[in-house]
A = this chain, B = another copy of it.
């Protein structure tokens, strides 16, 4: 009603025509993404999509989780292991074994004795990537603003864990002046491991189900993110054993994993796109995330945590997920 009243008053007082126009609705993250051009969306390759089907829930409803694997230059040896494990149907018949509140949900072989395919090894490479010259950064105008470099977009320099945070090729990253590494935001998927120097193979995976666990950055391999069905991992009953593992008395709480497949090997695979992090709409999205100022929010923050800039993803195949 507010806008209508203002417009009526303007007419009555014969104010200039511009005052008679309804004010545009303030931009919100949702409205900015809805207004993005089709050309700003990028298809996710079927080889980068991992489809995990869990046993139906207690109401008999299907539970499907879709994971997008991280692209080069990050974590590629683990990502390739994961593709090999999926092609071997290695996860079929395994289970979700750990749910620790405000920390992680973790899945894999509960016996820890199931052999992995030949060639699957724990990679011996660092978790960070040296930045090639095309990523070269400078400090101009990066505070609370976005600036486009060749491939890296800076979101901010006020981060507790790194000099700079931003995006590279659709993924949130932390950066120093000569390196970048993927980070542990909500719904991001990492590789479980034993004590260093073990780095894990990728057979044991976890996802963050609470606040970002950024102290894990550069200590464990980030290999992907949940882009659909996250609620099937975040709403599971928490385990009462050490570190949130289900105890033997809670063995019935372990959710069976029916299958894990690459979309490239499925006949009825779902399809997804993500909003290019180099697009104008993504820049606008970051800005509005950092400056909520609409009908509900009255004090814009002036900044945003890199994990709160969730990269928009949309499903594009015609058939709804069962």
Residues of A bordering B, CB below 8 Å: 58, 99, 101-102, 127, 156, 158-161, 185-187, 195-196, 209-215, 217-219, 230-231, 234-238, 289-290, 292, 295-299, 301-308
Contacts and interface: CB of A to CB of B under 8 A. Distances in A.
A187 B209 CA distance: 13
B231 A101 contact: yes
A215 B308 contact: yes
B101 A234 contact: yes
B299 A212 contact: no
A305 B160 contact: yes
**How many protomers of this protein does the assembly include?**
2
Contact of A230 (B58, B99, B101, B307): B101
Nearest to A165: B160
Contacts of A158: 158-160
A195 B296 contact: yes
13 contacts: A101-B231, A158-B158, A158-B160, A161-B302, A186-B210, A195-B296, A214-B308, A215-B289, A217-B299, A217-B301, A218-B299, A235-B238, A305-B305
A211 B195 contact: no
A6 to B, nearest CB: 16
A65 B293 CA distance: 34
Contacts of A196: 296, 298
Nearest to A197: B298
Contacts of A213: 308
A308 B213 CA distance: 8
B187 A102 contact: yes
Nearest to A174: B301
Contacts of A127: 299
Contacts of A214: 301, 305, 308
Contacts of A307: 211
